[in-house]
Amino acid sequence: MRVQEEGAGRKASLEDSVIHGASRFIPVIVVLAILLSVIPPLFNSSTPMQNWVYRALTILVVCCPTALVISVPLSFMGGSGRLSQKGIHVKGSEAVEKMAELRMVVFDKTGTLTEGNLRVKEIHGTQDFNQESILALAAAAEQLSRHQSAPQKISEFEEFPGRGVRARIGNRNLLVGNRRLMVSRGVKGVPDIRGTVVYVAYEGDYAGAIVLEDTVRPEAAEAVSGLQSQGGLRTVILTGDT
């Protein structure tokens, strides 16, 4: 609600110029109309004063910028309403106006272009750790992560936002996260696997990796293609995946 209220105050430059122009134009027209209804009768008594008043009122009606003042904000309101029907929330007329100047659209991936429901695609083990062991180690380290809801007893836990977690269970150190975390903690021999990958290290040694897979939303391809067809508009994805 706060963001929406703030956005409502940011008007488009066209809307601002129309309103400001009208605020200066209207007083001038009112003064001219008054002068037209008063001064000519003083020098031309042959024409009734009511005729000059009628002419002054005609000038007020013709020159009044009401249509312009109403139509411009109404156009932006109509555009915002149409966008809301498509599920697009726009904060103020300024945002509607700026959309005509778009050169790049930046997407989040998970939950935006994809469904956000990850599943295990592959498990890469090593000579010392099979697939079942990799899954067990990852589950053990993730117990106290905010992604889990059933914590078990562990002696130490540390979370690295955007990278992974470190846990100590018994006398053993577990490290679970992305490749950046592994490299920063000095884990050797970590392969560069494409996709959404969770790496597992045991006592400082690389143990294996779990490749996760997300489902692309059905409408994502059509939406991105439609944007790219709009006169060289560039699309970008911000994601930690390779």
Active site residues: 108
* Strand order through the sheet with 119-124: 119-124, 205-213, 196-202, 172-177, 164-169, 156-160
Backbone angles phi, psi at 7, to 5 degrees: -65, -35
For tokens 């400001």, name the residue.
Answer: 20
In angstroms, the CA 219 to CA 217 distance is 6
In angstroms, the CA 154 to CA 169 distance is 5
Name which of 178, 149, 144, 154 is nearest 164 in CA terms: 178
